[in-house]
Structure 1
Amino acid sequence: MKLLLIGAGGREHSLAWKLAKSEKVEKIFVAPGNGGTAFADKCENVDITDINELLAFAKENNIDLTIVGPEDPLTKGIVDLFKAGGLKIFGPDKAGAELEGSKSYSKDFMKKYGVKTAEYEVFYDADKALGYLENCTYPIVIKADGLAAGKGVAICETREEANDSIKSFMIDDIFKGAGAKVVIEEFLDGVEASILSITDGKTIVPFLSAKDHKQIFDGGKGPNTGGMGVLAPNPYVTDEVQKEFEENIMAKTLAGIQAEGYDFKGIIFFGLMITKKGTYLLEYNVRMGDPETQSVLYLMESDLLEVIEAAMNEELAGFEIKWSKGTCVNVVLASGGYPGEFVKGYEIKINEGVKDKVFLAGAKAEDGVLKTNGGRVLSVLGVGDTVEEARVDVYNNIDGVEFEEMYFREDIGLI
C-alpha cells in the first residue's frame, strides 16, 4: 500500500516509524514531514500543506489511504474533501472535528450527552468575562475556545491572574483569534490522564493510558507547553478508573457521536482528570496527542495499519489490540528558552545506538544534516519492566543526543 501521512511533528515521525513496520506498506509520503521522516524507512517528505493540493497529490500518486496527524486540517474539512473525491482517509469529518476545534462546542456536547465534566460558562465579551471573575472560587481554569497549539489553557490561582489571562486571550489576542471566545471552568483537583482511542463510529477501542507532563519546569512548575514528557501506561488509571471512564465518558461520547451523525472513523483522545469525586473529562482531541503517541505506539505490538483498517471497515467490535507489558517513558528535549524565545538552526547529533528510540519533532534536514527547527525538538524514549527501569533507560539514552542549548525536565515519570 501507498500511504499519505499528513503532519510535521514528533507524532508523525512516530506514526511513520510504526506504519513502516507493516508488511502491507510499500511507501509513505509525509506532508510536509520533518527531519525525522526525511530519513525514516519507506518514507519520503513532500512539501505540501494546502488541503486541496494534498487531494490532488493523493489522486496523482494513487494513494491507498491518507492518515491525518494534526487537528488543523481536520477542522478545515480535509476528510469531507477527500471522501467527496472518492479517496480513503482516516479521521473525523468536519462536524466531528469540532469536538476539538471549539472548546465551547465540546463542553456543550458533553453536557448534552451526560458526559461527566467540570461546570463551565462561555463568554464572547471580555468585560462580561471579567465581571464573572469577581465572584468565582479560585483556582479557576480559563480556556481559549479555538485551536491554540496546546497552550490555550490557563490555571489561575488568583483573580488577578484570571484577569490577566482574559486580557491576553480576548483583548491582546495572543492566539490570533482562538481566544476571542473563552470557556471559564471549575478547577478540578486531581491527576491528569490521557487515553487515546480509535473509533469506527460504532465502537470505541481505548489504547493504553498515558500521563503527560505539561509544564516546562520540574515539579510541574512554570508555563504550559505542548508537553515535556509522557509516562505510559499511567499508573493512576486503575481498573476502577478505567471502568468509570468507559461507562461515564467513553460510552456516552460514542452515543453522542452516533446521535449527532458524525462520519467519524478516526482517533478520539480523552483528556481526563482523576479526582477524589471521580473521573472527569477535561477535553477531547480528535487526533493522537503529541508526545503521548510516541510512548503509546512504542508499546503497541499490533500492526497499526491493521488497527486503522479495522476502523475504516467498521470492524472494531471485538478487535483486540496487543500491547507490551512494560513501561515507556518519553522525555522531550527542547530548545533553550522554550516556550518563550529560542534560537533555531543548531546541529543535532544522535548516536546510532539510540536512534530507534528518538523521534524528531521541531527538526529539519538540511543538506543531510539534522538541525533544530522548533521549540520541542525531539523525544527520547526509555522502556523497562517498571517505571524506575524505564526512567533509567530514557535518561541514559539522552546521553546519546546532543545539540546546543538543549533543555529537558529531569522528573518525567516520577509519580
Structure 2
Amino acid sequence: MKVLLIGDGGRERALEWMLRKSVFVTDVISVPGDLGRAECAWCGSDMFTGMGRLTPYASRKDIDFVIVGPEAPLVAGIADIFRLNGKPVFGPSKRAAELEGSKVACKLFCKAYDIPTADFDIAQTPEQAKMYVRRRQVPIVVKADGLAGGKGVKVAWTREEAYKAIDDFSLLPAGTRFVIEEKLTGWECSYIVLTDGTYTLRFPPVQDYKTTQAGSTVNTGGMGCVTVSPHEFTPALERKIQETIIKPTLAALRNEERPFTGALYAGLMIVGALPYVLEFNCRLGDKETQTIAPLLRDGYDIVPYLYGTTNNTMNYRVSPWKEEYSVCVGLAAAGYPGRPRTGDIITGIEEAEKLDGVYVFSGGVTHMPDGSVITFRGRVLDVVGTGRTVKIARKRAYEAVSKIHFDGMWYRKDIGE
C-alpha cells in the first residue's frame, strides 16, 4: 500500500512513525515535503500547496490511501476531492468538518441535539460581542468563529480582557463572528475516537496543556500532553461521554446526511462527573497523537484502524494500545507563540532518543546539507516519555529534554505533575 500523508507538523511525524511500522505500507509520500523528515530515507520530498494539484499527483504516484493530518485542508474539502476521484481518505467531508471549521456552527449543533456544552451567545459583530460580555459574569470565554491554529480562544478574567480579545480576534480571518460563553470549572480531557460514521474506537484519553505556562491565559497550539489516569477517567465517565456526546453526535450527522468518518476529537470539560463539549475537532490532535503513538502495542498495526474508517469495519477492531502512561513535553523556539525565531542549531536529539522509553518527534526542524539540524518553526520538537506510571513517564521525558539544546529553547516544566 502506498500512502500519501498530508501535513508537516509533529502530529504527521508521529503518524509517519506508526506507518513505518506497518506491514501493509510499502511507501509513504509526505506532502508538503519537509527536510525535517530527512532521517526517513523512503519518504518523498515533493512540495505541493494547492489542493487541486494533489489529486492528479496521487493518481500519478498510484496512491492507495490518503491520510490528512491538519484541519485546514479538511475544512476546505480536500477529502471530498479525493473521494470523487476514487481514493480512500482518512478524514471527514467538508460538511462534517464544519464542526471544527466554525465554532458558531458547533455550538448551534450542540444546542439543536441537546449535546451538553457551556451556555453561550453568538455575536455577528465585535460590538454585539461586547454587549454580550457586559451581560455575563466574568470570568468568561471569548471565541473567534473560524480556524485560528488554537489561538482563537481566550479565557478572560475581566471584561477589559474580553473586550481586548474581541478586538484582537477581529483582526484575524477567523474573527468574523464570535462565541461568548460561560467558563466551566472542572478538568479538561481530549477524547478522540476513530470512526466509520457509526462504530468507534477510542484513543487513550489525554489532557493537553494549551497555555504558555501554568496560570497564564496566553494560548498556544499546545505545549504538552499526558495520558489520563483511570482513577479520573472511570468506566462510568466514559459511558456518559459515549451516550451523551459521541453517539448522539454521530447519529445527528448521519441524519443530516453528512456522516463523519476519520478522527472525531471532542475537547471536553469534566464538571463533577458530567462531561461538557468545549469544542469538536475533525482530526487527530497535535500533541495528542505524539503522546499516544508510542503506546501502540508490539505486533499491532495502525493501518487497519485508520483504513477501517473508510470501509465500515470499525466494529471489528480491538484496542491496540498498551496500558501504560505517556508524557509529551513540547520544546518551543524563542518568540513563540508570537513571531518565533528560526535558524537556531539543535543538539542532543540522538542522545535523547537513546534513553529507555523515550521518543522524539520533530515538528519544526530542518536538516542542513552540513548535517546540522536547525529550528524553522515555533513548535520545534515533542519529547515523549512512557512508563508504567505517570511519574516514570514524566521523569523519562524531562531527562530526555535535558539532553537537547538550542538557543532560546523554552518549555513548560509542569507537564504531568
TM-score norm. by structure 1 comes to: 0.95
Q: CA 1:243–1:136 in structure 2 vs 1: closer, same or farther (change >3 Å)?
A: same
Q: Secondary structure at the match of 2:415?
A: coil
Q: Secondary structure at the match of 1:18?
A: helix
CA contact (8 A) 2:325 2:386 kept: yes
User: Who is 1:14 aligned against?
Assistant: 14
Q: Does 1:186 align with 2:182?
A: yes
Q: Deviations over 1:127-168 (max 9, x none)?
A: 111122212111111111000001100001111111111111
User: Who is 2:314 aligned against?
Assistant: 316
Q: How does 1:192-231 map to 2 (within 5 A)?
A: 192-217=188-213, 219-231=214-226
CA contact (8 A) 2:237 2:273 kept: no
Q: Which moved more, 1:382-391 or 1:303-312?
A: 303-312
Gaps of 5+ in 1: none
AA aligned to 1:386 is T
Task: Kindly state the Cα deviation for residue 10 of structure 1 after the two structures are TM-superposed.
Answer: 0.2
Q: How does 1:231-242 map to 2 (within 5 A)?
A: 231-234=226-229, 236-242=232-238
AA aligned to 1:127 is E
User: Who is 1:392 aligned against?
Assistant: 395
Q: Secondary structure at the match of 2:314?
A: coil
In 2: Cα distance, 1:42 partner to 1:400 partner: 28
User: Who is 1:92 aligned against?
Assistant: 92
AA aligned to 1:377 is V
Which residue among 307, 310, 326 is the counterpart of 2:305? 307
User: Who is 2:324 aligned against?
Assistant: 326
User: Who is 2:345 aligned against?
Assistant: 347
CA contact (8 A) 1:9 1:33 kept: no
User: Who is 1:366 aligned against?
Assistant: 368
CA contact (8 A) 2:359 2:383 kept: yes
User: Who is 2:161 aligned against?
Assistant: 161
Q: Does 1:106 align with 2:109?
A: no
Q: Does 1:28 align with 2:28?
A: yes
Task: Kindly state the Cα deviation for residue 222 of structure 1 after the two structures are TM-superposed.
Answer: 4.4
Q: CA 1:350–1:260 in structure 2 vs 1: closer, same or farther (change >3 Å)?
A: farther
In 1: Cα distance, 2:31 partner to 2:193 partner: 24
Task: Kindly state the Cα deviation for residue 234 of structure 1 after the two structures are TM-superposed.
Answer: 4.9
AA aligned to 2:359 is K
In 1: Cα distance, 2:215 partner to 2:291 partner: 20
In 2: Cα distance, 1:149 partner to 1:41 partner: 30
Q: CA 1:208–1:41 in structure 2 vs 1: closer, same or farther (change >3 Å)?
A: farther
Of all paired residues, the percent bearing the same amino acid is 40
Q: Secondary structure at the match of 2:251?
A: helix
AA aligned to 1:138 is V
Task: Kindly state the Cα deviation for residue 261 of structure 1 after the two structures are TM-superposed.
Answer: 1.3
User: Who is 2:241 aligned against?
Assistant: 245
Q: Deviations over 1:84-124 (max 9, x none)?
A: 11222111111001010000111111111221111111111
Which residue among 253, 260, 270 is the counterpart of 1:257? 253
CA contact (8 A) 1:68 1:91 kept: yes
In 1: Cα distance, 2:310 partner to 2:333 partner: 38
AA aligned to 1:361 is G
CA contact (8 A) 1:26 1:42 kept: no
Q: Does 1:410 align with 2:400?
A: no
User: Who is 2:334 aligned against?
Assistant: 336
CA contact (8 A) 2:349 2:360 kept: no
Task: Kindly state the Cα deviation for residue 363 of structure 1 after the two structures are TM-superposed.
Answer: 1.6
Q: Deviations over 1:379-404 (max 9, x none)?
A: 00111111111111101111232211
AA aligned to 2:365 is A
Q: CA 1:220–1:22 in structure 2 vs 1: closer, same or farther (change >3 Å)?
A: farther
CA contact (8 A) 2:100 2:281 kept: yes
In 2: Cα distance, 1:260 partner to 1:38 partner: 44
In 2: Cα distance, 1:230 partner to 1:33 partner: 26
In 2: Cα distance, 1:11 partner to 1:268 partner: 15
Q: Secondary structure at the match of 1:251?
A: helix
In 1: Cα distance, 2:192 partner to 2:35 partner: 25
CA contact (8 A) 1:37 1:44 kept: no
CA contact (8 A) 2:120 2:181 kept: yes
In 2: Cα distance, 1:29 partner to 1:400 partner: 31
CA RMSD of aligned residues (A): 1.5
In 2: Cα distance, 1:307 partner to 1:162 partner: 42
CA contact (8 A) 2:360 2:382 kept: yes
Task: Kindly state the Cα deviation for residue 40 of structure 1 after the two structures are TM-superposed.
Answer: 2.3
Which residue among 262, 269, 272 is the counterpart of 1:266? 262
Task: Kindly state the Cα deviation for residue 317 of structure 1 after the two structures are TM-superposed.
Answer: 1.3
Q: Secondary structure at the match of 1:332?
A: strand
AA aligned to 2:159 is R
In 2: Cα distance, 1:239 partner to 1:191 partner: 17
CA contact (8 A) 2:250 2:259 kept: no
Q: Does 1:285 align with 2:281?
A: yes
Q: Deviations over 1:8-34 (max 9, x none)?
A: 100000000011100111110011143
User: Who is 1:296 aligned against?
Assistant: 292
Q: CA 1:144–1:234 in structure 2 vs 1: closer, same or farther (change >3 Å)?
A: farther
In 2: Cα distance, 1:257 partner to 1:42 partner: 38
In 2: Cα distance, 1:35 partner to 1:293 partner: 21
Task: Kindly state the Cα deviation for residue 263 of structure 1 after the two structures are TM-superposed.
Answer: 4.2
Q: Secondary structure at the match of 2:97?
A: helix
Gaps of 5+ in 2: none
Q: Deviations over 1:212-267 (max 9, x none)?
A: 011111x2424111110000135532222212111111111111121111143211
Task: Kindly state the Cα deviation for residue 353 of structure 1 after the two structures are TM-superposed.
Answer: 4.3
Q: Which moved more, 1:297-306 or 1:363-372?
A: 363-372
Q: Which moved more, 1:375-384 or 1:82-91?
A: 82-91
CA contact (8 A) 1:12 1:33 kept: no
